[in-house]
């Protein structure tokens, strides 16, 4: 977390925010649905693609801030399997911007010790895009810091279907289809995110209260944080605010909060009321 203070000055509005973050309780994995580019552009009477262009810098800044904070993994939703429904020109611009980002950021990914990966059905993307994604992945594969995953042509349902089919295919080739009993571990090992911890914090920008087919399996117990900020306006302050909100949450995973857990009071109360079931 120390590295974060190197890019801020005391008195900056984010300085106090950063100081109130508990470095020992950071989310290990942050996932972000980067939404609102189109609305950002419309508010300025610009074409939607101008919003996508303006959305590149917040990606750079968010990646850098997460690396400096000491987050383990950051997964960014860049293009969903449903986004093909958009006009051809908009889709083409998104691919152009992706290639621009990869080329421009390569040196910084190396400098910041970041490991890059792409998640999604990548085999249908153009050769050019696939080659550049692959190159960035290979180039950064020896890095040991923040793991940045870009979800591209990603759909949570497709990911689960692919995982199930992989399990069935493997069992069939091993001649064990009859005895196949699927477990959570088997599914997890075949998701695009195999080897990554589940996201602790899921951020969505632009105020939309939905998941839009993102990481359906992995977010089972993620803390959700929705901000009205549109993605092109998402700054360091917004990210730190989300992390602070996360640290204020009581994560129970179906159990009880630490405060309630060992409480003798509850037992005596139950007894006094004659509702003890033991």
Query: E strands of 3-103, at which residues?
Result: 29-33, 73-80
CB of 35 to Mg ion, least distance (A): 4
CB of 116 to Mg ion, least distance (A): 24
Among positions 165-224, residues that touch ligand IPE (CB under 6 A) are 206, 208, 210, 212
Question: Does residue 34 interact with ligand IPE by CB under 6 A?
Answer: yes
**Whole-number Å distance between alpha carbons of 37 and 230:** 7
Residue 203 host element (H or E): strand 201-204
Determine the residue with CB nearest ligand IPE.
38
CB of 137 to Mg ion, least distance (A): 27
Catalytically active residues are 35, 83
**Contacts by 82-90 with C-beta closer than 8 Å and gap 24+?**
82/155, 82/212, 82/213, 84/153, 89/49, 90/48, 90/49, 90/52
**Is the CB of 79 or the CB of 101 nearer to ligand IPE?**
79
Query: What does 212 interact with, of Mg ion, ligand IPE, none (CB < 5 to 8 A by kind)?
Result: ligand IPE
Quickly tell me which residue has 């290990």 as its tokens. 28
**Whole-number Å distance between alpha carbons of 212 and 222:** 15
Query: Contact with ligand IPE (CB under 6 A): which of 79, 116, 192, 246?
Result: 79
Which parts of this chain interact with ligand IPE (CB under 6 A)?
33-39, 77-80, 83, 94, 206, 208, 210, 212, 231
């Amino acid at each position: 977390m120390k590295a974060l203070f190197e890019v801020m000055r005391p008195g900056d509005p984010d300085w106090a925010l950063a100081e109130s973050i508990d470095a020992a309780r950071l989310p290990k994995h942050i996932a972000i649905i980067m939404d609102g580019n189109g609305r950002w552009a419309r508010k300025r009477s610009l074409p939607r693609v101008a919003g996508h262009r303006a959305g590149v810098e917040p990606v750079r800044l968010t990646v850098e801030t997460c690396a400096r904070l000491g987050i383990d993994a950051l997964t960014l939703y860049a293009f969903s399997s449903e986004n093909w429904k958009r006009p051809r020109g908009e889709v083409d611009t998104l691919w152009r911007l992706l290639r621009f980002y990869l080329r421009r950021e390569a040196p910084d990914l190396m400098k910041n010790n970041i490991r890059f990966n792409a998640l999604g059905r990548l085999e249908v993307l153009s050769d050019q895009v696939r080659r550049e994604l692959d190159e960035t992945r290979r180039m950064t594969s020896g890095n040991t810091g923040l793991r940045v995953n870009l979800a591209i042509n990603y759909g949570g349902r497709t990911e689960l279907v692919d995982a199930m089919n992989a399990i069935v295919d493997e069992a069939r080739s091993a001649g064990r289809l009859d005895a196949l009993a699927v477990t959570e571990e088997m599914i997890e090992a075949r998701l695009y995110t195999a080897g990554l911890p589940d996201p602790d914090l899921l951020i969505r920008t632009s105020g939309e209260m939905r998941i839009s087919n993102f990481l359906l399996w992995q977010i089972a117990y993620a803390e959700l944080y929705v901000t009205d900020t549109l993605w092109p306006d998402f700054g360091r302050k917004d990210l730190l605010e989300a992390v602070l909100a996360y640290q204020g949450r009581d994560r129970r995973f179906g159990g009880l909060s630490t405060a309630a857990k060992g409480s003798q009071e509850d037992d005596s109360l139950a007894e006094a009321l004659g509702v003890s079931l033991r």
